[in-house]
Amino acid sequence: MKSVLVAAAFGLLISILATPLAVRAFRRRGFGQEIRDDGPESHLSKKGTPTMGGTVIVGATVAGYLLSHLFLIGQPGRGVTATGLLLLFLMVGLGTVGFLDDYLKIRHRRSLGLNKTAKLVGQLVVGLTFAVLALNFPDEAGVTPASESVSYVRDIEPLFVGSIGFVVLAYLFIAGFSNAVNLTDGLDGLAAGCSAMVFGAYVVMSFWQFTHDCATAAVDGCYQVRDPLDVTLVAAAALGACLGFLWWNTSPARIFMGDTGSLALGGLMSGIAIVTRTELLLVVLGGLFVAVTLSVVIQVAFFRATRRRVFRMAPLHHHFELAGWAENTVIVRFWLVTGMAVAFGLGLFYADWLSLTGL
């Protein structure tokens, strides 16, 4: 448990101390955010706010994870694992795609960076690499980081998709959630706050899996997962990094995470869901991200079919802004929705365990 607290603490401290340094460095280099011309008028005042703060989140997460292992030296079976490294690879890889997108926005002084094809290719390379590698590296019990079945709280055996099917679904899942967090990152602190709550839920669930791991505690309701403690350390470091960044990102934001942060956070969420066998449960935990994404899909599809709009503006948070809600009101209420979704998801996770133990 000490190592989990250390991962979260170092992620928090590094993020909260490094973010103002990044603000000054990015401001000197003119790394300012470009604002959509068709967005809410209240956002025009944010033009020039330093962006690419996601570099701090990614760096703090990686550092928090690695430093936590200093407290596990000498403990058998507690070193850096394949699962932990794969999750960090996914986060850093998608963060790099987002960094290129942010850099092009700054260089060309417009709100559009990489075109859709280039961004999808980047996500494709990183996502497929992660998916293929996650089906390898079995432990002593033959358990790999990922499985070839679709999962909810555990693998759903009838939904066995095979290695090729898993790789395809994993890519769609990773791309979907990384883009979902990216779409949600439109208001000060919104994506960082919601992400912190989801990672907090995964700290609880993965640590519960660690204490009920079939490899060490073959009891009713145990979990067939690889390296659950290491997953907890990654989730805890990401939780701390998001909270530290949120200190400076909350309204009025001193810095934005940019695509560097949003793609990295969404990718890490999906990766953790895959290795903890909770893929469909993430749809509940990240319900707000799903709703924001659906608002864009519905808006585009309905407009193409009828030339009319369902929402005043998509993504969903801009609809409520144009409806007259203050930005802080939208942010806090969306945080509340995420909190309720996370609580419900944790309830479903625990209810599954109770149903198998007969308690």
Query: Does residue 353 register a pLDDT over 60?
Result: yes
pLDDT digits (tens, 9 = 90+) for 22-35: 999 988 887 766 55
Q: Is the bond into 315 cis (omega within 30 degrees of 0)?
A: yes
Query: Does residue 44 register a pLDDT over 60?
Result: no
Confidence of residue 79 (pLDDT cuts 50, 70, 90): confident
Q: Is residue 29 part of a domain?
A: no
For residue 102, the one-letter residue type is D
pLDDT digits (tens, 9 = 90+) for 308-343: 999 999 899 999 999 999 999 999 999 999 999 999
Confidence of residue 118 (pLDDT cuts 50, 70, 90): confident
182 is in an annotated binding site: yes
Cα angle 208, 226, 228; round to 5: 30
Query: Which residues, 6+ apart, have CB-to-CB distance to 208 below 8 Å?
Result: 349, 353
* Structural domain of 193: 81-228+252-357
Total domains in the chain come to 1
Q: Is residue 43 part of a domain?
A: no
Q: Tokens 């002593």 map to which residue?
A: 140
pLDDT given at position 33: 63
38 is in an annotated binding site: no
* Residue 347 CA, distance from chain mean position: 20
Q: Is residue 233 part of a domain?
A: no
150's enclosing H/E stretch is: strand 149-151
Query: Does residue 257 register a pLDDT over 60?
Result: yes
pLDDT digits (tens, 9 = 90+) for 182-236: 999 989 999 999 999 999 999 999 999 999 988 777 677 889 999 999 999 999 9
Confidence of residue 250 (pLDDT cuts 50, 70, 90): very high
* Average pLDDT value for the chain: 91
- Spatial CA neighbour of 181 closest among 343, 293, 38: 293
pLDDT digits (tens, 9 = 90+) for 258-299: 999 999 999 999 999 999 999 999 999 999 999 999 999 999
Strand partners, 265: none
Query: Which residues, 6+ apart, have CB-to-CB distance to 103 below 8 Å?
Result: 52, 113
Confidence of residue 55 (pLDDT cuts 50, 70, 90): very high
The backbone torsions φ and ψ at residue 345, rounded to the nearest 5 degrees and listed phi first, read -65, -40
Q: Is residue 13 part of a domain?
A: no
pLDDT given at position 265: 98
| 8 A C-beta contact, residue 175 and residue 301 | no
Q: What is the DSSP letter of 80?
A: -
Q: Is residue 163 part of a domain?
A: yes
Q: What is the mean pLDDT of residues 111-124?
A: 80
Q: Is residue 122 part of a domain?
A: yes
pLDDT given at position 32: 65
C-alpha span between 311 and 298 (Å, rounded)? 9
pLDDT given at position 175: 95
Q: Is residue 291 part of a domain?
A: yes
Q: What is the mean pLDDT of residues 118-132?
A: 94
pLDDT given at position 184: 96
Asked which of 35-39, 70-74, 282-286 is least confident by mean pLDDT, the reply is: 35-39
| 8 A C-beta contact, residue 268 and residue 83 | no
pLDDT given at position 140: 87
Largest separation between any pair of C-alpha atoms in the chain: 65
Percent of the chain with pLDDT over 90: 74
Q: Is residue 47 part of a domain?
A: no
C-alpha span between 289 and 191 (Å, rounded)? 9
pLDDT given at position 189: 93
pLDDT given at position 91: 98
pLDDT given at position 110: 59
